[in-house]
A and B are shown apart, each in its own frame.
Chain A
Amino acid sequence: MELVSPAGSLPALRAAVESGADSVYVGLKDATSARHFAGLNFTARSLAQGIEYAQGRGRRVLMAINTYPQPKGWKQWTAAVDQAAALGVNAVIVADAGVLGYAADRYPDLPRHLSVQASATSAEALAFYRQEFGIRRAVVPRVLSLGQVAALVEDTDVEIEVFGFGSLCIMAEGRCLLSSYATGESPNTVGACSPAAHVRWEDFPDGSLETRLNGLLIDRFAPGERAGYPTLCKGRFRVGDRLGHILEEPTSLNTLELLPALFDAGVAALKLEGRQRSPAYVGQVTSVWRAAIDACLADRATFRPADAWQRTLAELSEGSQTTLGAYHRPWQ
């Protein structure tokens, strides 16, 4: 099973490689990929250095070009594909059918992975992308249960990559417009969810805190309560007479205990979320998953996640809580 780690900077890429990632996925410093944050991601120059570093050590670099260009941005997206090919990345990760077609026509030898943002959840959908654009691998949305992932692997000849750890999108990726509804910017259009430019934190004299997104009250924290970033789907809202995390608690996905089952299911690659995280985070999380995958490879039957691994992951998790997400049916 290939371990795919995130990198939003050259130091993070190095940390991922040093900590045992088989592949590192990256994006350019613009709206062409789904982690479009200020100060994050790669220039052509830093990417060239990153590719040299990773490939020199036998690792792969995958480049995400996985947002949906509109007519006014089309040339920027095709330029990103051109750049990926020129720099020699090992694969591009693409969601938009138009961009996939461009990549397949111009660079047939550049491997294409279907981004999670394309929201392909069935063998038929994968067969479509395989036939039309020759995709080799697909990252599947975090909406499938473990049984559904296993059934999908059985029904397709496209390699399946799943999310193993990190921030949890509870919506089908590529099919969530909550962010643009509130702010005008979404993962699909500009690679941003609940973008920082629209966030307002307000402290009150009594120690309480409010978080807003484009004026909308997302959450209000009591004095001393741990406050989180106002990601729309993790706010506290009112439905009827109930107030709470109507959509999702601020938790992270952690599938460490499912690792043997993911092996059994025939999953080809496991992805760690977090291009926006620090090099230290990337290094620590990658190390844990490297050790876990190696342990699983050595003896799947007796595999148990080490307490130390789980402690490390819990400390690095949003809200210090983790969940099995949709892999575990009761979560749904």
Chain B
Amino acid sequence: MNPETSTPSKAPRLSVGPCQYFWQKDSVERFYAEISGSPVDIVYLGETVCAKRRALRPEDWIALGRELAAAGKEVVLSTFTVIEARSEMGVVRRFCENGEFMVEANDVAAVRILRELGLPFATGPSMNIYNGATLRHYHRLGLRRWVLPVELGREALKGIRAEAKLADVETEVFAYGHLPLAWSARCFAARYHDRPKDQCNLLCLDYPTGLPVNTREGDRFLNLNGIQVQSGLICDLLPVWRDVVDAGADILRLSPMPQGTLESIHALRRAILGDGAALASRCERPGPICNGYWYAEPGMVRARLAK
């Protein structure tokens, strides 16, 4: 597409997705204090990976949400992805019944609860919305925002939006971070330490960005995050944000990292405001970056250098 003749892309909103890692409470608070003053629009809060991670209770997340809302952020509470025990459902229910903030459902169990409460909701990337009929079905139940599954890309997004023909639904795309790829009953961090999952001693606290997995030839492959397996490479669609927006994204999601999140937010915001150089350095930067899914290629591929 020739940028001279195309219509200008609409400005997307920026979001900070739920933190996928397990951090100490003071680290979480420091992180969101920084986010509070940053140019993001939406902040997703809550533990989505492992029910044992209780540094913040639901009440703490909600209190944090109030602070962020007071700072002008839209706050959304995000729920567990794999729900195995009745006690875990209690936490999901507590979020759904919070009474203040919209909820992002990462499992249909939360959709069921939100539907019964008659509340509008968002869905996370693990909700498997692969076609327009599915999106329309959830829309009838109250869906107002959805995140594209991370293994889908531009053509799928365009197709789903064209099929669904929904005006009052926002589309969000996971644009920066280690991709959530798989979820298990098994805790891979505990397994690495030869510990049973039930006696994990919360060792994920020692790995604030997960545990890198390399092939025997040293290729960075995966990243272990408790019961979750992530991409070893960081998916970075920021340099192609216009393409993502043109395909139908209303919101671009950045996944929290202990370092660099703020820098990425600022760079993206500057780029959206018209600073053509803001993201330029990232395009040529060598590093553990992938973007293949967006181009319908293997996710681990760095498909092309963005302009």
A residues adjacent to B (C-beta < 8 A): 68-72, 74, 95-99, 101-102, 118-122, 124-125, 127-129, 131-132, 142-145, 148, 151, 155, 170-172, 174-178, 180-184, 186, 188-189, 214, 216-218, 220, 233, 236-240, 242-243, 246-248, 326, 329-332
Closest to A235 in B: B215
Closest Cβ–Cβ distance, residue B99 to chain A (whole Å): 19
Q: How far in angstroms is the closest Cβ of chain A from B42?
A: 24
Q: Which residues of B contact A180 (CB under 8 A)?
A: 151, 293, 298-299
A330 neighbours in B (Cβ, 8 Å): 196
Instruction: Judge whether B131 and A189 touch: CB under 8 Å.
Output: no
Question: Which B residue sits closest to A147, measured CB to CB?
Answer: B85
Known: A178-B181, A247-B188, A330-B196. A69 touches B216 (CB 8 A): no
The CA-CA distance from A101 to B82 in the complex, in Å, is 23
Q: How large is the interface on B (under 10, 10 to 19, 20 to 34, 35 or more residues)?
A: 35 or more
How far apart are B35's CB and chain A's nearest CB, in angstroms?
27
What is the chain B residue whose CB lies nearest that of A132?
A: B137
> Which residues on B sit within 8 Å (CB–CB) of A186?
151
In the complex, whether B224 has a CB less than 8 A from a CB of chain A is yes
Q: When the two chains form their complex, are residues A70 and B197 in contact, meaning their CB atoms are under 8 A apart?
A: no
A128 and B185 in contact (CB under 8 A), knowing A181-B231, A183-B298? no
Q: Determine the distance from Cα of A69 to Cα of B162 in the docked complex, in whole angstroms.
A: 15
Question: Is there a chain A Cβ closer than 8 Å to B26's Cβ?
Answer: no
Chain B residues near A214 (CB, 8 Å)? 298
B186 lies within 8 A of chain A by Cβ? yes
Q: Are B137 and A189 within 8 A (Cβ)?
A: no
| B91 beta carbon closer than 8 Å to chain A | no
Given the known inter-chain contacts A128-B111, A238-B215, please indicate yes or no for A326 contacting B299, CB distance below 8 A.
no
Q: Which residues of B contact A142 (CB under 8 A)?
A: 185
- Nearest CB of A to B209, in Å: 14
Q: Residue B271 at the A interface, CB < 8 A?
A: no
- Residues on A with C-beta less than 8 A from B89 are 122, 124
> Is the CB–CB distance between B299 and A71 below 8 Å?
no
Q: Report the minimum CB–CB distance from A99 to chain B (whole Å).
A: 8
Interface SS of A by simple majority: mixed
Q: A181-B293, A239-B212, A246-B192 are in contact. List 15 more A-B contacts (CB 8 A).
A: A70-B159, A71-B163, A96-B131, A101-B137, A119-B82, A128-B115, A131-B112, A145-B185, A172-B184, A175-B128, A176-B182, A177-B150, A182-B298, A184-B292, A329-B198
- Residue of A72, A125, A174, A188 with most chain B CB atoms under a 10 A cut-off: A125
Instruction: Check if B215 sits within 8 Å of A237, measured CB to CB.
Output: yes
Contacts of B221 in A (CB 8 A): 216, 237
B111, B162, B217, B293: the one within 8 Å of A71 (CB): B162
Q: How far is the CB of A72 from chain B (nearest CB, A)?
A: 6
Question: Are the CB atoms of B162 and A177 closer together than 8 Å?
Answer: no
One of A95, A119, A120, A181 near B181 (C-beta < 8 A): A181
- In-complex Cβ contact of B185 among A127, A155, A189, A332 (8 A): A332
Measured in the bound complex, the distance between the Cα atoms of B141 and A128 in whole Å is 11
Contact B229 A172 (CB under 8 A): no
Q: 8 Å CB contacts to A: which residues of B110-148?
A: 110-113, 115, 126, 128-134, 136-138, 141
Interface string of B66-100 (1 = CB under 8 A from A): 00000000000000011111100100000000000
The SS class assigned to the B binding surface is mixed
B268 at the interface (CB under 8 A from A): no
Query: What is the distance, in angstroms, from B282's C-beta to the closest C-beta of chain A?
Result: 21
Cα(A173)–Cα(B140), bound, Å: 26
Residues on the B chain within 8 Å of A236, using CB:
216
B292 & A326 in contact (Cβ 8 Å cutoff): no
- Tell me the complex Cα distance, A246–B198, Å: 18
Q: Tell me, in angstroms, the Cα distance from A186 to B188 when the chains sit together.
A: 21
Q: Which of B83, B108, B150, B191 counts the most A-chain CB atoms under 10 A from its CB?
A: B108
Q: What's the minimum C-beta distance from B163 to chain A, rounded to whole angstroms? A: 5
Contact, CB under 8 Å: A177 / B151? yes
Partner of A175, one of B82, B131, B191: B82
Sample of 25 A–B contacts (CB below 8 Å): A74-B132, A97-B134, A97-B138, A118-B128, A122-B83, A124-B83, A124-B110, A124-B113, A125-B107, A128-B115, A144-B185, A145-B84, A171-B183, A175-B182, A180-B298, A181-B293, A182-B298, A184-B297, A188-B149, A237-B214, A239-B212, A239-B213, A239-B214, A246-B191, A332-B196
Given contacts A124-B89, A242-B192, A247-B188, contact A98 B134 (CB under 8 A): yes
Q: Which residues from A are CB-within-8-Å of B267?
A: none
In the bound assembly, the distance between CA atoms of A248 and B131 in angstroms comes to 32
Within the complex, the shortest CB–CB distance from A169 to chain B, in Å, comes to: 9
Interchain nearest-CB distance for B14 vs A (Å):
24
B213 A177 Cβ-Cβ under 8 A = no
How many whole Å from A276's CB to the nearest CB in chain B? Answer: 21
Q: Please, which residue of chain A has its CB at the minimum distance from the CB of B83?
A: A122
Shortest distance from the beta carbon of A177 to any chain B beta carbon, whole Å: 5
Interface string of B218-250 (1 = CB under 8 A from A): 110110100001010000000000000000000
Determine if B82 and A143 form an interchain contact, defined as CB atoms under 8 angstroms apart: yes
Are A129 and B181 interface neighbours, CB within 8 A?
no
Complex interface: chain A residues within 8 A of B83 (CB): 121-122, 124-125
Write the nearest CB–CB distance from B104 to chain A, whole angstroms: 16
Contact A184 B296 (CB under 8 A): yes
Residues of A contacting B84 in the complex (Cβ-Cβ under 8 angstroms): 121-122, 143-145, 148
The 4 closest A-B pairs by CB, nearest first: A98-B133, A71-B159, A143-B185, A124-B109
B49 to chain A, nearest CB (A): 12
Bits for B265-307, please: 1 = Cβ < 8 Å to A, else 0.
0000000000000000000000000001100111110000000
